[in-house]
Amino acid sequence: MTEHSTDILIVGGGPGGIMTGMTSAQISPDKRITLVRPETKVLVPCGIPYIFGTLGGTDEDLIGELPFLQAGGELLVDRVESVDREARTATLAGGDRIRWERLVIATGSRAFMPPIPGADLEGVHTIHKDYDYMDRFFREVVAGVKRIVVVGGGFIGVEFADEIAKRGIEVHLVEHHPHVLSRSFDRDACLQVQAHLLDAGLQLHTSVRVQALEAGPDGAQVGVVRLEGGERIDTDAVLIAAGTRPNVDLAKAMGLAISDKGAILVDAFQRTREDPEIFAVGDCASKQDFFTRRPANALLASQAAAEGRIAGMSLYALHAPRFNAGSISVYASQVGDLAFGVAGLTEAQAGKLGFQVYRGESRMPDHHPSTLPGTHEVYCRLIFAQLGGRLLGGQVIGGPTSGEILNAIGIAIQMRASAADLASFQFGSQPLLTASIHPIVGAAVNALANHFQNARPAMGKKEG
C-alpha cells in the first residue's frame, strides 16, 4: 500500500466532478487536485442517444479530460472503496490510500430499472452511463437489431427513439402518460413533438404500461413486449428509459445524511451537513427548488455542472452569496429538425405548486425577413406570477437557436425578471441570426396585454 497526498480529492468523473476540478484549478491554482474515477473512458451523458444515430459510435461521445489535465489536475483510474473522515483519507480498490484536505463526492446516479417481469432477458437494456456497457449495446444494435421497443417517453427515451430510427430500425415508443414528455411540457407542446415523431415513422403507444417482456423462440433473448390491455409488440431489443436514482453508496458508508429523495444533503455551496470540507455535487447531491425552496430532483448534466462550478469556487472560502436560492430546470432537445425545451416551470407544474399565473405567447420566424434560407418558426410561451409578474417559466419550440433562447429565459428567471422588464428590454435583431421581434419580447408583451385586459373588468366592478 502506498499513501499519496493531495489537496482536493474529487470522487467521480462525470460533468459534476470534472467541472469542480476545472473550476477549482482556476480559483485555487496553488492546490493539488486529484480526480478518481473507475472508468477509462467517460461518456458525455446527454450525448448517449446520439451514439445510435448522428454520431454513429461510442468513441464519438467522450468527455475530454484534456482541459482538466491542462489546468493542472491529476486523473487516477481507480475506485474509491471507503473514506475515513477522521483521518482525512480515502482508500482505493487497488489498496492505495489518498490523504485529502477537501473531498468532493461526485458519484452521480444509476439507471432505474422498474420491476417489469422479463427485464432480465437478453436484449433488454437501459441507459447506463458506462462506456463498456453502452458500447456492447451499440455493437448489438449494429449487428442486427431490426426492431426495438423504447419504454419511457421522457427526454432520453424520445431522443434515443428518434436517433435509432435514423438507422432504418422499426421503433416503438411506450409511454404510460397520455403524451410523451408530459412531465416536462404543457400538453400542446407535447403534441407538436409527437406529430414530429409520427412523421419520422415512429410508432407511439401512449396511456399504456408495459406488463411484461417475454422471451423469443430461443428462450433467452427478448422477443415480445406485452402491454396492458393485451397488445403484443414483436421486437429484437428493448430499451428501458425510466430515469435515474442518486448513487450514494459511498456517502452512506461515510455516515453522511441522505435526503427523502435519496441524495446527499448539501447547503447552497454544496457543503455537506456534517463537514464543511466535504462537498457533494451533481446527481448524488440534494437540490432545492428555486421557486419554493422545497427539495427538487432534476438529475441533469447541466445542473451537475452548475453545482461543480459552485463547489469549485467554494472549497477554501465562500465568496459571493448565491443570487438564487435553488435550482431550476433548463433543458432542450431536438427531434428531426424541431428543437424544443423548457426553462423553469410549465403551467401544469406551476399550478401544482400553488402558483396563479398569466401567460403570453408568440410565434414568428427565427430569421427576418422570413424569405431568408434556413428560416424556422419559433413558438415561445412564458408564464408569470399573477401578483408582481415575475417570470416563472418558458417553453420554446423552434429551430437551432431554441436552446440559447431557453438559456436566455433561464437567466431572466434566475435574475427574477418580470414581464414588464422583458417587454421593455432591448434585444438584438439581425436578419440571419434572430427573429425581428424577439420571441421572449413577443411573449412578454402578449402576457402583459392579456393580464391588463383581464384585470380591467375586475377593477371596473370594484368601482361600480
b/e string for 97-109 if b means 16 or more Cβ within 10 A?
A: bbebebbbbbbbb
- We find the least distance from the C-beta atom of residue 231 to a copy of itself, in angstroms, to be 33
Give the C-alpha distances (Å, rounded to integers) separating 71 from 6, 76, 78, 311, 340: 16, 15, 21, 17, 35
For residues 395 and 344, the answer to whether their CB atoms sit within 8 Å is: no
| x/- letters, 417..436, toward a copy of itself (CB under 8 A) | xx-xxxxxxxxxxxxxxx-x
Compute the C-alpha angle 411/190/392, nearest 5°.
30
- We find the least distance from the C-beta atom of residue 143 to a copy of itself, in angstroms, to be 22
Dist CA 213 CA 128 (whole Å): 20
Does 180 contact a copy of itself by CB under 8 A? no
For residues 291 and 353, the answer to whether their CB atoms sit within 8 Å is: yes
- We find the least distance from the C-beta atom of residue 27 to a copy of itself, in angstroms, to be 5
Does 197 contact a copy of itself by CB under 8 A? no
Does 415 contact a copy of itself by CB under 8 A? yes
Helices (H) and strands (E) in the chain, counts: 12, 26
Does 23 contact a copy of itself by CB under 8 A? yes
Please say which residue, 91 or 288, places its beta carbon nearer to a copy of itself. 288
- Sole window of 72-80, 144-152, 222-230, 297-305 interacting with a copy of itself (rule: CB under 8 A): 297-305
- We find the least distance from the C-beta atom of residue 412 to a copy of itself, in angstroms, to be 5
- We find the least distance from the C-beta atom of residue 305 to a copy of itself, in angstroms, to be 7
Q: Select the residue interacting with a copy of itself from 2, 40, 356, 453 (CB under 8 A).
A: 453
Dist CA 36 CA 29 (whole Å): 19
Q: Which amino acid is at 20?
A: T
CB atoms within 10 A of CB 270: 29
Dist CA 106 CA 18 (whole Å): 9
CB atoms within 10 A of CB 20: 36
Dist CA 259 CA 284 (whole Å): 10
Please say which residue, 91 or 362, places its beta carbon nearer to a copy of itself. 362
Does 50 contact a copy of itself by CB under 8 A? yes
Residues between 333 and 392 with contacts to a copy of itself, criterion CB under 8 A: 333-334, 339, 341, 343, 368-369, 371-374, 389
For residues 303 and 89, the answer to whether their CB atoms sit within 8 Å is: no
- We find the least distance from the C-beta atom of residue 433 to a copy of itself, in angstroms, to be 3
Q: Select the residue interacting with a copy of itself from 3, 29, 81, 187 (CB under 8 A).
A: 29
Residues between 314 and 333 with contacts to a copy of itself, criterion CB under 8 A: 319-320, 322-324, 327-328, 330-333
| x/- letters, 61..90, toward a copy of itself (CB under 8 A) | xx----------------------------
Please say which residue, 14 or 246, places its beta carbon nearer to a copy of itself. 14
